[in-house]
Amino acid sequence: MEPTLKPGQYVLARSTSNVQPGDIVICNYDRQLFIKRVKSKQDHGYNIKGDNTSGQDSRDFGLISPESIVSKVIWH
């Protein structure tokens, strides 16, 4: 998520079902936690991408289901 978030940086997040494009979320995919930005909300899930081109995101594993969103970052 560089340049927005740096490795080792602390964030404050909370559980919510109110996730909108532009939000930074923590999601669970394949038993791994990812911090990514929601690019768009679609009928079957969320398109999430990192702020840089490295790392895994929806380009690799497709849409993330709403149930996979663990929390929304509210402070960084």
- Give counts: helices (H), strands (E), the chain: 1, 5
Residue 58 per-residue DSSP state: H
Burial class (CB in 10 A: 0-12, 13-18, 19+), 27: buried
pTM over 0.95: no
In order of their start, the domains of the chain are 12-75 (2.10.109.10)
The CB-side HSE value for 7 (13 A sphere, CA atoms) comes to 1
Per-residue pLDDT of the chain (76 residues; tens, 9 = 90+): 888 999 899 999 999 989 999 999 999 999 999 999 999 999 989 999 999 888 888 999 999 999 999 999 999 8
Burial of 7 (0-12, 13-18, 19+ CB in 10 A): exposed
